[in-house]
Amino acid sequence: MKHRDDISETEALRLELEQTRQHLADTVQELTHQLNVPKRLKESAAEAGSRVKANAGVAGQRIRANAGYAGLRVKDTATHVPALTKQHPKTTAAVGGAVLLGAGAAAWLASRSK
């Protein structure tokens, strides 16, 4: 194995020329890729499609998990309603009256607008 000092000037120039050729080939390859717009667009679209699919999968999992949790909360709350109405009959009557009053007002307004 020769050291840099042991290499002749001609050999040093050949090595430098080979490195320059390799660098030039790499540069040409990169420029060719940069100038191939249709191919780059296809690559970008494929990457975007992959990201959308991945995000949609994650979003779907979150929605399913949250929907299950919400369903449990509604079911849990609904089972407590009868006990709550017995514990707070005046509040239940007031809320029921307000709902009926609102429904009556909405029906009256709807009949007036005809």
The pLDDT tens digits for 67-100 are 666 666 666 666 766 777 778 888 878 888 888 8
pLDDT, residue 23, reads: 94
The whole-number pLDDT of residue 26 equals 92
* Cβ burial, residue 34 (10 Å; 0-12/13-18/19+): exposed
Task: Give the orientation angle of helix 37-87 with respect to helix 9-35, to 10 degrees.
Answer: 60
Q: Write down the domain spans for the chain.
A: 4-87
> pTM for the whole thing?
0.32
Query: What is the distance between the terminal CA atoms of the chain, rounded to a whole angstrom?
Result: 102
Arithmetic mean of pLDDT, 23-38: 88
